Amino acid sequence: MSLESTLRLARAGDLYPACILHGSDDTGRTEAALELARTLLCDRPVAERPCGECKHCRRIVWPQAGGGLFHPDFQVLERDLRTSTSVDATRTFLRGAQVTPFEARGQVFVVAAAESLTPEAANAFLKTLEEPHTSSPRNFFLLAPSQFDLLPTLRSRSLAIYLGGGEGVDEDEVGALARALAAALESYARSGNRMHLFAVAGTLQKAGGWQDPRARRPWEAAAAAVVRAGREADLESDLRRRVLSLAEDLLAGPDLRVRGIQPQRILEGLVHARLEA
Ligand SMILES: [Zn+2]
């Protein structure tokens, strides 16, 4: 799922209650959470959300960054301990989700470093998701470098939205891969010849660093290149959607890899499963 389609769902009020925003860097994840929160709480007509000017949009700012601006229906939970987000801080934060909104038509809750939630904190969070709540919409965003940093129970209850890039991913390398991928994808779109899909998989393998079965970096670099190629290549919308879904599939690569499957076979399998018409 891409940020653009997520914003569309948020505008229409159809967004899944819990979403993981992963990939990119701290700033990218923060900006995406703020844009989604403004879209959900903005009081302008649907097509204009987020307007950036209304009394809601203007006050949805990151804590401490807003020069005293504050919105009572937008809450952020930040890591309170050196390496973790405690269950006490999480419970206090979640109490805000037991009340009706103060000013906006809904509420937005952001966990800034969801990878640092302790197992007890994650369970408190899951319990809140399962509880019945007031009739106003309530949206939770879990921010993390990778969705695979979160407990499987949290992942299974949330929609993962990949923002591209990732920690330790080199931008020049991604750019070069994306250009080669875009060319192979355009050739495939024109001819329908499966040979071009092998070229796509072969290009992904050039992300390098596949020797370590547990390494995430090559998968993140491959996924980031696919997202960029999907945006930049000249493709019809159905193929573009499938290309963006391929990026999500690639991020699950390390799970397949630890089962002993060779990277080349995983890459070819995922590319053909997702892109072959
Ligand atoms: Zn607005």
Per residue of the chain (277 residues), give pLDDT as tens: 778 888 999 998 889 999 999 988 899 999 999 999 999 999 999 999 999 999 999 999 998 776 778 899 999 999 999 889 999 999 999 999 888 899 999 999 999 999 999 999 999 999 998 887 767 889 999 999 888 788 888 988 999 898 887 666 778 888 999 999 999 999 999 999 999 999 999 999 998 888 877 788 899 899 999 999 998 899 998 999 999 999 989 988 888 887 888 899 999 999 999 999 7
Looking at the structure, do residues 117 and 180 belong to the same domain, yes or no? no
Looking at the structure, do residues 185 and 153 belong to the same domain, yes or no? no
Looking at the structure, do residues 118 and 186 belong to the same domain, yes or no? no
The pLDDT score that the predictor gives to residue 172 is 85
Ligand 1: distance of its center to the CA of 39 in Å?
Answer: 7
Domain count, the chain: 2
Ligand 1: distance of its center to the CA of 216 in Å?
Answer: 38
Ligand 1: distance of its center to the CA of 51 in Å?
Answer: 4
Looking at the structure, do residues 179 and 150 belong to the same domain, yes or no? no
Looking at the structure, do residues 209 and 257 belong to the same domain, yes or no? yes
List, in sequence order, every residue forming a beta bridge with 107; answer none if it has no partner: 138
Ligand 1: distance of its center to the CA of 29 in Å?
Answer: 20
Q: Is 21 helix (H, G, I), strand (E, B) or coil?
A: strand
Task: Kindly tell me the burial class for residue 127, based on how many C-beta atoms sit within 10 Å of its own C-beta (0-12, 13-18, 19 or more).
Answer: exposed
Ligand 1: distance of its center to the CA of 165 in Å?
Answer: 29
Q: Is 20 helix (H, G, I), strand (E, B) or coil?
A: strand
Looking at the structure, do residues 252 and 157 belong to the same domain, yes or no? no
Looking at the structure, do residues 191 and 153 belong to the same domain, yes or no? no
Looking at the structure, do residues 27 and 155 belong to the same domain, yes or no? yes
Q: What is the CATH number of the domain that holds 146?
A: 3.40.50.300
Looking at the structure, do residues 139 and 20 belong to the same domain, yes or no? yes
Looking at the structure, do residues 157 and 241 belong to the same domain, yes or no? no
Looking at the structure, do residues 108 and 205 belong to the same domain, yes or no? no
Ligand 1: distance of its center to the CA of 64 in Å?
Answer: 21
Ligand 1: distance of its center to the CA of 244 in Å?
Answer: 29
Ligand 1: distance of its center to the CA of 60 in Å?
Answer: 10
Closest by CA to 124, choosing from 148, 93, 152, 146, is 93
Ligand 1: distance of its center to the CA of 221 in Å?
Answer: 35
The pLDDT score that the predictor gives to residue 167 is 62
Residue type, 2: S
The pLDDT score that the predictor gives to residue 66 is 64
Q: Which domain holds residue 99?
A: 3-162
Looking at the structure, do residues 145 and 220 belong to the same domain, yes or no? no
Q: Which two tokens stand for residue 141?
A: 């965003």
The pLDDT score that the predictor gives to residue 108 is 97
